[in-house]
Amino acid sequence: MMLKKWLPLALCFLLAACAVVPPPTEAEVLAQMKASFKAAGIAQLDRLDQNALQKQCSAYATQAMPAELKASLEKAALDAVRYPADGRYLGSWQQGERIAQSGVGLQFSDNAKTVNGGNCYACHQLSKEEISFGNIGPSLYQYGKLRGNTEPVMRYTWARIWNAHAFNACNIMPRFGAAGILSEAQIRDVMALLLDPASPVNR
């Protein structure tokens, strides 16, 4: 009987105590995150540091980002895209297929000399022969066959691979060029996989 009498009062004190605890600051959250990870091999803690766009995306993770801010972030990302200086967009689709299938690179178990893959099949369907692919991203099967390989299509595709944030500020596609994941030559090869009529993507 005594317990039933005092339990509501104790609960009130507990809730009141919780109510006065301020939420953690951004610096405290970052410090806690960094304390939860450790550097291993080529995977260092600087990967936890966000750029300006990532900070804005985190700030608006649970609410809609203002349209003007979103547009400005996308424009900045698009303006920073480096297109091939010689105007050549397409490399070898055979090499592009190897890059799309490879998930190695930039992991703690890799070394600095590991040639990075794109791991494209983790999120996209590209060819009808490949039976194991993800569906986080849209199917890219017959990408070039449906779109052609005009200059605007090639520039758009290059920019999308270089930094997809240029078209959707907070999407989850890796920034293959902007983040230095793939080299310019590798991006040419992935472009060929998507746009070369002889590629299995377009057959």
Which of 157, 162, 138 minimizes the C-alpha distance to 195?
A: 157
pLDDT of residue 6: 57
- The reported pTM is 0.86
Instruction: List the CATH code of the domain at 93-202.
Output: 1.10.760.10
The partner residues of 40 in beta bridges, in order of sequence, read: 43
Query: Can you spell out the DSSP letters for 144-168?
Result: HHHH---HHHHHHHHHHHH-GGGTS
On whether the CB atoms of residues 154 and 89 are closer than 8 A, the answer is yes
Half-sphere exposure of 58 (CA within 13 A, CB side): 11
Where do the domains of the chain lie?
93-202
pLDDT at 23: 85
Note down pLDDT in tens along the chain; length 203 residues: 554 555 565 556 555 555 567 888 888 888 888 899 999 999 998 988 899 999 999 999 999 999 999 999 999 999 999 999 899 999 999 999 999 999 999 999 999 999 999 999 999 999 999 989 999 999 999 999 999 999 999 999 999 999 999 999 999 999 999 999 999 999 999 999 999 999 999 99
First to last CA, the chain: 79
Angle at 96 between CA 130 and CA 100, to 5 degrees: 50
> Residue 3: what pLDDT?
47
